[in-house]
Amino acid sequence: QVQVVESGGGSVQFGGSLRLSCAASGYPYSRYMAWFRQAPGKEREGVAAIDSTGVTRHADSVKGRFLISKDNAKNTLYLQMNSLKPDDTAMYYCAAASVDWIPFSAWFIPHKYNYWGQGTQVTVSS
């Protein structure tokens, strides 16, 4: 059983920065990890994802502002968020997938991930 625990959310002003962390523990090994977010009344959407080789994918809405990374030694996932906007306000979730392969085009499909954290709130004020 894999457990994922997010931290690092909070409230910032427009243009500010935050770094989210996600500690993953347990077995089996998660080949894919991702950050999703969900705002009130909206569907959960993929923000950024990374595979075990370090290949990353970022949503168009966050490219150039957010950066996903992973410390394999600590099995910890990060999301550095810069130039935050009010539209970034949402609950952010860390997700892990232990499956052997997810096509790149499907990295932002929530049901491809079988382990989820409880979420951490990010609020950006204008």
66-101 pLDDT per residue, tens: 999 999 888 899 999 999 999 999 999 999 998 889
Residue 28 CA to residue 116 CA, distance in Å, equals 14
Per-residue pLDDT, 26: 81
> Considering only CA atoms, which of 33, 27, 9 is closest in space to residue 89?
9
Residue 100 CA to residue 58 CA, distance in Å, equals 21
CB–CB of 86/125 below 8 Å?
yes
Per-residue pLDDT, 114: 92
Cα radius of gyration (the chain):
14
Note the pLDDT tens digit of each residue in 5-59.
Answer: 999 999 999 999 999 999 988 877 788 999 999 999 999 999 999 999 999 999 9
Per-residue pLDDT, 73: 85
